[in-house]
Homo-oligomer: A and B are copies of this chain.
Amino acid sequence: MVSARTSSDPARDIPEATVARLPVYLRALTTLVDAGTSTCSSEELAQAAGVNSAKLRKDLSYLGSYGTRGVGYDVEYLRYQIAREIGVTQDWPVVIVGIGNLGHALANYSGFRSRGFRVVALLDADPRRHQEAVAGVVVRPFADLERIVEEQDVAIGVIATPAVASQDVADRMVAAGITSILNFAPSVLAVPDGVDVRKVDLSIELQILAYHEQRKSSAAEVIA
């Protein structure tokens, strides 16, 4: 049989830098749709997304030719195409492990649902957390992980445990069949090939800011 992929969707590999920007474009387009805009130019969209218009056009060109020269892009249509390319036209089931300070905030976060994700389970090792419901989802024992992942076909896991527990949690997730992990713990996770890990690290972000802040002060000193 011939490949099921359409001509507009060959298995081309989109540069990683572009992939990281597509969600930004998606959000900018959603904002435009909500504002009732039906068409926009690369210049307008680029401004809304905070990037250079040449870069935007180049990024979009990896997806296909969805614009019209002399006119611009159909906002609704482009939004759907990007959502499809990212894979958020349907909801992805997600489990969150570690329902402490941060886990609670994540579980309460309404932006999940509206952006292509659905929290199907909240897990914690501490029995005192169990039975509590956060945003309508009950906190369950960590031991339930394997069953939930299998039953609900979960591919994405979020780790919000202390750093010391994060590698163990990741190992269990991978063994259970999870292949994408978002790690909020300040740790470096080791995972097998084929498993993607992204990390969100507050301290690192602040320290990067601190570095530049320090340079600003010393630059000021030189002038003074």
Contacts and interface: CB of A to CB of B under 8 A. Distances in A.
Nearest to A184: B202
A111 B203 CA distance: 7
A210 B92 contact: yes
Contacts of A214: 86-87
B200 A202 contact: yes
Interface string A1-41: 00110000001000000011011101110000000000000
Report, as a range, how many residues of chain A touch the other chain. Answer: 35 or more
B101 A108 contact: yes
Interface in A148-172: 155-156
Contact of A210 (B48, B116, B201, B207): B116
A91 to B, nearest CB: 10
Contacts of A201: 23
9 contacts: A23-B201, A85-B211, A86-B210, A88-B210, A92-B206, A101-B105, A109-B202, A111-B203, A182-B205
6 smallest CB-CB distances across A and B, nearest first, come from A87-B214, A50-B188, A180-B209, A23-B207, A101-B105, A105-B105
